[in-house]
């Protein structure tokens, strides 16, 4: 089975920059951490689209994501993305795409991959399982939840996503 | 949402014993590692049934597991178990139980939780997601796969489960 | 043998704050990470003096550190401290204290404890060994170096300390 | 500064073998874990001599270690070694070598590198610091202790080394 990954940056890929004492989107981290998962009989095909804080994503960036998704509708897709505008991107994809044959999963993290208490590897793990077994549709997958993208919002204070239902 | 966990031992819970230079089932490890996962809005209820290498499980042990499962059919169940007889226990549950309302997930690990390259936390993470979204039935969940228990076997040489299909 | 620890904050103790996407001195981390070291026959006695970025340390803060050091000259002392003004604090201690019977070690980290590629636990480990075997004096200990405090400066660009010799 | 490393196996380098559910000396691990330490201005030169449980070391193996040490007396040496016969090897080196110009450090671990609660990286970190600052001589370095090799023995029950003094 094949799963496409599109990486766009966000907290999940941030690194700590010692010279500035702050985190930033400077390196691609997804593939390095995927190497920690066992995914036998799964062909992973990773495309790095950009490496941005999602608050800085432009309309052009979202058009680029849409184009990349359209070219990969033959298999499930996992998109790693900043959490602040993850739902916005997901809704844009939903408006732009017709009926799907496979699930499209948006995921990210509240704390960068590799930092203590990071949720990044958990969310990647869950996203790959959801990519394999969820019904066609567009979802936000984090923290043991699979939210349809039109029924979810980020709760910044609690650092999690919550259902609109 | 509620998820029951039943722990029975197996490689996933083994610890390294310095005095003997070998691994053994001496401590309960599942709850400690579950503390590393973010499971908001999920009520986890853990029951430690035994802590055994699954090659040493007896008919009485399996009867005990069945009894514990029967008492918890009101919600999904995750059973942590040694991989050598995981399928045998799953098939016994399938023969003994009638129609299910929720999934029952068997999982474990090829390398103990906390050892380098361990697949334990990945398998637990996947099992909790499968417990939430899989159809009712009995499954082995490991390495990004959700196998119906009557269509899977362990491939010891490759250290993974493979489909009988 | 007894070793005193005085904690003052700095990068080594910073945590990632999910609501702000930035690191800050909010929690005491030293004792938690010391629990990962094996220190048999060593009595560790930890005192939390403050939890500050060292660029924000005041003269009063340094007077407090000096007072705490003066009260513990009966055994080696390890002081965890931000790297930006670590040398300044060390030189102040050197000017203020007379002859010593035990070493006083200043240490910290370029990346917080528990973040990927952190040097924090390495530096703590080295500091405890230097506390045990170095000659009386005041030192900066990091990255496999033991620098006398009057012969060292931070090289911010290379994220390390370098000898003035 | 230069530090020589000689690796010989022992628990510190053992890996978990999934097909057998046991640990064994099959891979060289020291260099991989040294990559986690920051050692600026230190030239590390690693030589893999063998990869054996130290209970299986022969007289020929010890002669090989002695020969390798003799060829590297121009700088400090760190020898990674199984704990069971570490003292025996150290005493043999002491009997065979004359006056030294640099320290020779024997180290190892009670739990393999990368396993939860491993003391391996702590012991390597301490050994490199001792290699830099200890007086010429032959030592066992572990758990924040620097033991002269003729005044130490392993306490198997407590999984540590203890002084003969």
Cα dihedral: D53, D56, D59, D61 (round 10)? -40
Q: How near does any CA of chain B get to the CA of A59, in Å?
A: 32
* Mean pLDDT of the B131-153 span: 98
CB spacing of D114 vs B115 below 8 angstroms: yes
Dihedrals phi, psi of C67, to nearest 5 degrees:
-60, -45
Active site residues of D: 11
- pLDDT, one tens digit per residue, over B94-133 is 999 999 999 999 999 999 999 999 999 999 999 999 999 9
- Count of residues in chain A: 165
Contacting A residues, span 30-59, partner chain C, CB-CB under 8 Å: 53
Q: Is the pLDDT at D165 greater than 90, yes or no?
A: no
Contact of D113 with D121, CB cutoff 8 Å? yes
Cβ distance A19 to C156 less than 8 Å, yes or no, reads yes
Residue D84 φ/ψ, nearest 5 degrees: -65, -35
Distance from CA of C53 to the nearest CA of A (A): 10
The pLDDT-based confidence of C128 (bands split at 50, 70, 90) is very high
Mean pLDDT of A152-163: 97
Cβ neighbours of D112 in B, within 8 Å: 16
Average pLDDT of chain D, as a whole number: 97
Touch test C–B: 3 Cβ pairs or more under 8 Å? no
Write out the two tokens for A109: 């993290």
Q: Is A133 on the interface with B (CB under 8 A)?
A: yes
Find chain D residues with C-beta within 8 A of C143's C-beta.
Answer: 38-40
To the nearest whole Å, the CA of D34 is away from the closest chain C CA by 11
Task: Identify how many contiguous H helices and E strands chain A contains and give both numbers.
Answer: 4, 10
| Residue-averaged pLDDT of chain A | 97
Among B145, B114, B107, which residue's Cα sits nearest to residue A39? B145
State CA C88 to chain mean position distance.
Answer: 13
Residue A59 confidence (pLDDT) above 90 = yes
Q: What pLDDT, in 10s, does the model give residues A82-122?
A: 999 999 999 999 999 999 999 999 999 999 999 999 999 99
Residue C137 backbone zone (phi > 0: left; psi -120 to 50: alpha; other: beta): left
Nearest CA in chain C to D116: C36
Subunit partners of chain C (3 or more CB pairs within 8 A) = A, D
H or E element, residue A9: strand A2-9
- Residue of A75, A76, A83, A70 lying closest to A8 (CA atoms): A83
The partner residue sitting opposite B159, judged by closest CB among D18, D110, D117, is D18
- H helices, E strands: number in chain D: 4, 10
A13 vs C contacts (CB less than 8 Å): none
- Whether C18 and A116 lie within 8 Å, measured CB to CB: no
Res B165 pLDDT > 90: no
CB contact under 8 A, D22 and B19: no
Laid out side by side, the sheet with A43-52 consists of: A43-52, A2-9, A77-80, A103-107, A137-142, A145-148
- Can you tell me the distance from the alpha carbon of D145 to that of D140, in angstroms, rounded to the nearest whole number? 8
How far apart are the C-alpha atoms of D17 and C104, rounded to whole Å? Answer: 45
Indicate the average pLDDT of chain B.
97
Q: Which residues of B touch D14 (CB under 8 A)?
A: 21
Q: Sort C75 into a burial class: Cβ within 10 Å, 0-12 / 13-18 / 19+.
A: middle
Given a cut of 90, whether residue C105 has pLDDT beyond it is yes
* Nearest residue on chain C to A16, alpha-carbon basis: C111
Phi, psi angle pair for D59, to nearest 5°: -60, -35
C123 and C13 in contact (C-beta within 8 Å)? no
Q: With residue B5 as reference, give the H or E element that holds it.
A: strand B2-9
pLDDT at position A124, please?
Answer: 98
Active-site residue numbers of C? 11
Q: pLDDT of B45-69, one tens digit each?
A: 999 999 999 999 999 999 999 999 9
- CA dist A127 and A129 (Å) reads 5
Q: Which of D18, D22, D110 sits opposite B18 (nearest CB)?
A: D110
pLDDT for residue D148? 98
Beta carbons of A18 and C112 less than 8 Å apart: no
Confidence of residue C34 (pLDDT cuts 50, 70, 90): very high
Percent of chain C with pLDDT over 90: 99
CA–CA separation, C15 vs D105, rounded Å? Answer: 36
Q: How many CA atoms lie within 13 A of C134 on its CB side?
A: 30
Tens digits of residue pLDDT in D97-120: 999 999 999 999 999 999 999 999
Indicate contact of D with C: 3+ CB pairs under 8 A: yes
The confidence score (pLDDT) of residue A165 equals 81
- At residue A43, the pLDDT reads 96
Q: Do C16 and A157 touch (CB under 8 A)?
A: no
In chain B, positions 90-129, which contact chain D (CB-CB < 8 Å)? 110-117
Name every chain C residue with its beta carbon within 8 A of the beta carbon of A115: 16, 114-116
- Are B37 and A126 an interchain contact pair (Cβ–Cβ within 8 Å)? no
B2 φ, ψ (degrees, to nearest 5): -110, 140
Give long-range contacts, CB 8 A cutoff, 24+ apart: A14-20.
A14/A112, A14/C21, A15/A112, A16/A112, A16/A115, A16/C23, A16/C111, A16/C112, A16/C115, A16/C117, A18/C110, A18/C111, A18/C159, A19/C156, A19/C157, A19/C159
Tokens linked to D130 = 């001792």
CB atoms within 10 A of CB D137: 16
Over range A31-38, report the average pLDDT. Answer: 97
């Amino acid at each position: 089975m094949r799963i496409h990954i599109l990486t766009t940056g966000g907290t999940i890929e941030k690194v700590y920059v010692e010279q500035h004492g702050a985190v930033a989107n400077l390196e691609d981290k997804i593939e390095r951490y995927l190497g920690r998962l066992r995914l036998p009989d799964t062909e992973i095909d990773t495309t790095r689209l950009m490496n941005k804080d999602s608050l800085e994503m432009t309309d052009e960036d979202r058009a680029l994501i849409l184009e990349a998704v359209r070219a990969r509708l033959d298999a499930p897709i996992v998109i790693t993305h900043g959490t602040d505008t993850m739902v916005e991107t997901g809704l844009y994809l939903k408006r732009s795409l017709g009926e799907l044959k496979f699930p499209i999963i948006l995921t990210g993290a509240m704390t960068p991959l590799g930092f203590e208490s990071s949720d990044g590897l958990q969310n990647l793990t869950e996203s790959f399982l959801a990519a394999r077994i969820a019904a066609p549709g567009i979802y936000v997958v984090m923290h043991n939840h699979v939210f349809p993208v039109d029924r979810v919002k980020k709760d910044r204070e609690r650092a999690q996503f919550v259902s609109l239902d």
